[in-house]
Structure 1
């Protein structure tokens, strides 16, 4: 790549870091294609202050540290909504909107029957409204996000069974 491309890549990465900071996100991953066999894959992440503060009390009790990871590791995997077979995850980082415009009815609610392709919600990313379709027909059993909340790539949005 030329220096001009490197400057553009640096500006792109700085813009992603700024987006990460402004939206209080912990991670952002983007693949930018320039040509068929020329692309850049960028992952920008940071740790939250809550994560930094958590290890301090654990370090005070070494015996608890050894036991906690073994006991805690299986529980999140089974309770992880994104691993549910009916989970619909966010294809991008953005802001969730449950209805087409303020004051109108929500696209879906818990217990609603949806058909494949029905709009479940909207994720706004970079001033673009992206309708998130139902990947299959079924019943909405759980809505994992709130209207106006920020979501990250891969975050579970709804569960359809």
Structure 2
């Protein structure tokens, strides 16, 4: 009986590790009760790679409008390359309310909810952030124009990370 329990615990821990990886989480903690004095308390964590840092400016600077040439190369640029200003500090920044995966369209192959230059109304869905298999619609906090989309479709996002700029 102990060997069977051990095998199911290993499978359970492997499933937790898979959830951690699939949802780009840094830590999961679960307690599994078997009987009154028998339980399994598991903490699965990983160190996040340094390749995708949160945008932190070296020093605050005056906001600069991107040149048309820079804007045309923005989607191909690496996410680590950020303008000198901090998008999270922008007054029109829409921040992620949770850790998850950002999706710009309602489903694969569909048109994006919004594009740069679109006029949006308050409450309009801008994108989806998936967290633990739940699709959370991110509404526009106010009416305005989409100036910049700061995440790529399918990219992991952290709590408080800037998703887009509305003006």
Question: TM tier, shorter chain?
Answer: 0.5 to 0.7
* Cα gap change, 1:80 to 1:19, in 2 (>3 Å): farther
1:122 to 108, 118, 128: 128
**Residue 7 (structure 1) aligns with:** none
Q: CA deviation at 1:102?
A: 1.2
Q: Is 1:135 aligned to residue 141 of structure 2?
A: yes
Cα distance, 1:73 vs structure 2: 3.0
TM-score (norm 2): 0.56
**Equivalences, count:** 115
User: Counterparts of 1:54-65 in structure 2 under 5 Å?
Assistant: none
Aligned equivalents of 1:49 and 1:153: distance in 2?
Answer: 17
Task: Give the aligned partner of residue 105 of structure 1.
Answer: 111
The CA distance in 2 between the partners of 1:22 and 1:105, in whole Å, is 24
C-alpha distance in 1, partners of 2:147/2:125?
Answer: 16
> What is the aligned counterpart of 1:74 among 52, 55, 60?
60
Cα offset for 1:132? 0.1
Q: Normalised by the size of structure 1, how large is the TM-score? A: 0.58
Gaps of 5+ in 1: 1-14, 29-43, 52-71
Q: Quote the Cα distance in structure 2 between the aligned partners of 1:50 and 1:110.
A: 26
Contact 2:23/2:131, CA 8 A, preserved across alignment: no
RMSD: 3.5
Q: Structure 1 residues 50, 97: CA separation in 2 closer, same or farther (over 3 Å shift)?
A: closer
Deviations along 1:32-68, one digit per CA (max 9) or x if unpaired, are: xxxxxxxxxxxx89564569xxxxxxxxxxxxxxxxx
In 2, the alpha carbon distance for the partners of 1:129 and 1:21 equals 18
